Amino acid sequence: MDYTVYILYSQKRSRYYIGQTDDIEKRFVRHNKSLVPSTKTGSPWNLVFTQKVENRSEALILEKKIKKRGTKRYFEDNQFGV
């Protein structure tokens, strides 16, 4: 089953949120309806990055790598535009 690692950005809070899911559309809606406790105060969220991986193990590894490096640095290292 494919998983998606994603990064959200809240202009309201000037913060990024990194997560992983097997249903990005459903998860994104939950974030913006304030149904996820950790992102409740940042709505509306913008989806700024997604990357598909083959399974949850790979998703967890990539999510941890991004969190450890920091979102801004991860974007700079990989030359992604924000």
What is the tens place of the pLDDT at every residue in 16-68? 999 999 999 999 999 999 999 999 999 999 999 999 999 999 999 999 999 99
The residue range of the domain holding 29 is: 3-78
* The pLDDT of residue 81 is above 70: no
d(CA 44, CA 42): 6
Q: What's this model's pTM, rounded to 2 decimal places? A: 0.90
pLDDT band at 80 (very low <50, low <70, confident <90, very high): low
CATH, residue 12:
3.40.1440.10
Give the total number of structural domains in the chain. 1
- Neighbouring C-alpha atoms within 13 Å toward the C-beta of 42: 19
